[in-house]
Structure 1
Amino acid sequence: MTTGEQGVPPLDPSELGAYFVLTEAVSLLQYQVEQQLRAEGGISYVQFQLLARLAHLDGPLTMTELADGVVYSRSGLTYQAGLLEKAGLVTRGPSPEDDRVTLVAVTADGRALVERVLPGHVQVIRRLLFDPLTDDDLHHVADIMTRVRDHMRTQPPRSAAPRRSRNSPSA
């Protein structure tokens, strides 16, 4: 096996095949989910993730906790939370313990929207992801993806990455 320019061995054919199948399946699923959410709720997939995460909690989350939970950039989350706040679906405000920290909470309208789009969301997920799987397949997929996710989560969260200055060259 030869190595790439930086001494890293290339992916072997089975690794490359698994990677492409996974990314294609995720893209196909996200596209259908996005279509359903826009048609039934007028929201994007990211907005649904934010609302659903908040709707299943008893209280607010910090912007950092929310960004880490949905794996989204701080600036992107600020923008999305602003749109959701303008639509009356979330509230944002300073933490009583630390006014440098912004808390985000779902409103009654936000919770109602999640409840309205959730049945269609479940239908799309079930039809595309779970229907072709046996119970044994489902157990294996859940186990494998949990290990992969847990391995990936050992890296610092995206929100902890240092911010690039506007003057620094982009990567």
Structure 2
Amino acid sequence: MGTTLLFDRLDDDLRRDFDISLTEYEILVRLSERDGQMRMAQLADALAHSRSRVTHTVARMEKAGLVRRSSSPEDGRGIVATLTDKGMDLLRRAAPVHVRGVREHLVDLAGEEDFAALGRVMGAVSDHLVTAHPEMEIRHP
């Protein structure tokens, strides 16, 4: 329940101040970490969302001028999402608000030992899931 409440609060902050969802913010972040572009399939994998959900979200973002989609220059088959200047500007303005929310609603509430324990637990979860599903490509930013 705590994660749901946290994500809802972070989503509310971004919607109120910038008219974007937490998922849209995460897409902007992922693209910025990859020199401004990623194949749509890789983006879906990185977000752990279905390809159809990411396609729908990116289409909405494209209409807002935050990203654009084009055929992959490598093989022409895949679709590449590219961060626009408008999207990068929005990310730069939204990031401090998002970071402030994460600090206020998570980081400042827990001690160093709590984060160390959480890191161990999430490491075990990740190891388990990767071992259970070796066919899935897991990408870390």
TM-score category, normalised to shorter length: 0.7 to 0.9
Q: Give a deviation string over 1:27-79, Cα, whole Å, max 9, x none.
A: 01011011001011100111111111111221421111000000111111111
Equivalent residue number for residue 71 of structure 2: 94
Shift of the alpha carbon at 1:129? 1.2
Q: How many residue pairs align between the two structures?
A: 135
SS of match in other structure, 1:103 = strand
Shift of the alpha carbon at 1:92? 0.8
Where do 4+ consecutive residues of structure 1 move more than 6 Å?
none
**Cα distance between partner residues in 2 of 1:77 and 1:38:** 18
**Quick one: structure 1 residues 28 and 85, their matched pair in 2 at CA, closer, same or farther if it must change by over 3 Å?**
same
**Cα distance between partner residues in 1 of 2:64 and 2:130:** 32
Which one of 84, 89, 104 corresponds to residue 112 of structure 1? 89
1:20-169 equivalences under 5 Å are: 24-154=1-131, 155=133, 156-157=135-136
TM-score by length of 1: 0.73
**Match for 2:97: what amino acid?**
G
Q: What's the % identity of the aligned pairs?
A: 35
**Cα distance between partner residues in 2 of 1:91 and 1:146:** 35
The structure with more radius of gyration: 1
**Residue pair 1:55, 1:110 contacting (<8 A) in 2 also:** no
**Cα distance between partner residues in 2 of 1:59 and 1:142:** 29
SS of match in other structure, 2:109 = coil
Unpaired runs of at least 5, structure 2: none
